[in-house]
Structure 1
Amino acid sequence: MTSTFDRGLDLLGAVLAAELGSTGYPGNAQLAEQLGLDQAQISRMLKDLAALELVERDGQGRGWRVGPGYFALAAAAGDADLASAARPLLRELVTRWHEPAWLSVRSQVMALTVEAQPSHWSSYVAAAPGAMTPVWCTGPGRALLLDHSEQELAELLDAVEFVGGGPLAARDVRALAARNAADRGAGVVVADREFEHDVVDFSAPVRGRSGAVVAALSVAVPLFRLGERATEIAASVERAAKALEVRAASRAGRRDGRPTP
């Protein structure tokens, strides 16, 4: 089944392809015909993408082009040091737990998957490069916001409606801030049925040289397969995130000729 995220990625790809091609900036009707969707669907999806600055109207307002958010995502996804350093760590997590593992960065109110290693149930929507999931109801999203105060969360999520997600998702900023405060000391977020009805996300923040959170490393486990493994999985994800920080800093240091920690 094609997900909303898949359709959003297809729509973004169609806008980019038209912009780079000879047809110019595409309009709603052109995009609807190309993707086989009705114009009402296309209009809603474009509105959502525009809110994230992934697309914008062209200068004359006749069609759509990729926006500044797209280029910000491209820059984040193009962080070769982080992505390259993450790959073996993600493979190790998949080998150990036989569950999908992935690396995310934040794009405003969404978590973008920039590197992933699948497992035998790799259809999990977040564990695919290019997937975008809400920050407020996912493990990686909450890990990316782990340092945010309640006031900072309120400002960031001011226009977000806490609708959707899994049955145990936070439903307002206060609840989200309380969960993050509880997880902050542990150093890892355990998002139990916050995004999918039967899945637990284990996510740890990855910090850059300044100490700020720059990414999140995650493993997702179906609830029926979790058993008594939660503590061990959480600890392994946190260790992998710490190892990623060291490896990425080392790669960057060698490239730039800077001393590494």
Structure 2
Amino acid sequence: MDSSAEASSMAQGLRIVRLVVDREKRGRQLLGVSQLAVELDMEQSRVSRLTQELCDLGLLERVDRGPFRTGQRFFNLAASLNTGWVREAKTELEALVASLGCRARLSVRDGYRVILVRSSSNDAVSGSFVKPGMVTPAWCTGAGRALLWDFDRPALESLLADVNYIGIGGPGAAHSTGEVWDLMVRDRAGGFIAAAEEFEHEVVELAVPVRDAGGAILASLSVLGHRAGIGPGEAAAAVLHRAAERLGTFQNAN
């Protein structure tokens, strides 16, 4: 199997795991092979093979050819990752809610996509799309642009070369890589990312990078709210920076 085929199988396997986990977490009916194939628009034979491999790995489990549920290996892996700055983020996010009265998020970058790792308890309601694993664009979110903080223009242009800007983001979103660069230059001068209606209408997102001891960006920390409710950007950014610095010190904590 070549590398592209391996990557495709991994991506499809992760889609299956994500769907199973999501349905179990929400208390929805669990699914078998044929139902997973329909939900994911995949060939049933491929779903059958991938789910068998996932069961062999312990990421999924199935009793008597019934529906799939999350396997013990998944929980073991999740527990091993819930250390250091990821674990401590829960406390920092709730502290941001208490001090700023906004929603708060911790995110990481996957190419030109942003993956939500943790969010504050006030950031989602039943049925909301906001949940760990949520994917958003890097170029039109505060969290995403904070993750691009260290990019020079050639690196940014290379990263966003295949991006289609049409129809994505809110009224303040950039529509070209040049516009993304201009926003980055503006915000670096201020010391924090200020994304006004770049992704969601009427929502302002302030964000800063979380760095390790060597200065490399681990994640981004952001708060979201309406313009009137989020208060002066500089004051909120100072609170964000302090929280990000604390998280960075937990990089190697167990």
TM-score (norm 2): 0.68
Q: 2:105 aligns with which of 102, 115, 118?
A: 102
Q: Secondary structure at the match of 2:124?
A: coil
Is 1:116 aligned to 2:139, yes or no? no
Q: Contact conserved, 1:102 with 1:217, CA < 8 A, in 2?
A: yes
Is 1:234 aligned to 2:227, yes or no? no
Which residue identity does 1:188 align to in structure 2? F
Q: Which runs of 4+ in 1 moved over 4 A?
A: 9-12, 63-66, 123-127
1:206 offset after TM fit, Å? 0.5
CA distance in 1, matches of 2:245, 2:200: 27
> Where does the alignment leave 5 or more consecutive residues of structure 1 unmatched?
1-8, 36-41, 47-56, 256-261
- Structure-2 change in CA distance of 1:154 and 1:196 (3 Å): same
How many residues get paired?
Answer: 206
> Where does the alignment leave 5 or more consecutive residues of structure 2 unmatched?
1-13, 23-29, 52-73
CA distance in 1, matches of 2:35, 2:124: 33
Q: Contact conserved, 1:167 with 1:197, CA < 8 A, in 2?
A: yes
Higher mean alpha-carbon deviation, 157-166 vs 123-132, is at 123-132
CA distance in 2, matches of 1:11, 1:201: 31
CA distance in 1, matches of 2:159, 2:151: 9
Is 1:196 aligned to 2:200, yes or no? yes
Q: What is the alpha-carbon root mean square deviation over aligned residues?
A: 3.5
1:229 offset after TM fit, Å? 3.0
Q: Contact conserved, 1:150 with 1:173, CA < 8 A, in 2?
A: no
Q: Contact conserved, 1:126 with 1:132, CA < 8 A, in 2?
A: no
Q: 2:224 aligns with which of 220, 225, 228?
A: 220
Q: 2:211 aligns with which of 202, 207, 217?
A: 207
- Residue-by-residue CA offset, 1:105-145 (whole Å, 9 max, x unaligned): 111221111112122x6349685322211111100000011
Q: 1:183 aligns with which of 181, 184, 187?
A: 187
Choose 1 or 2 for highest CA Rg: 2
Q: Secondary structure at the match of 1:160?
A: coil
Which residue identity does 2:221 align to in structure 1? L
**Percent of aligned pairs with the same amino acid:** 32
Q: Contact conserved, 2:145 with 2:184, CA < 8 A, in 1?
A: yes
Is 1:243 aligned to 2:246, yes or no? yes
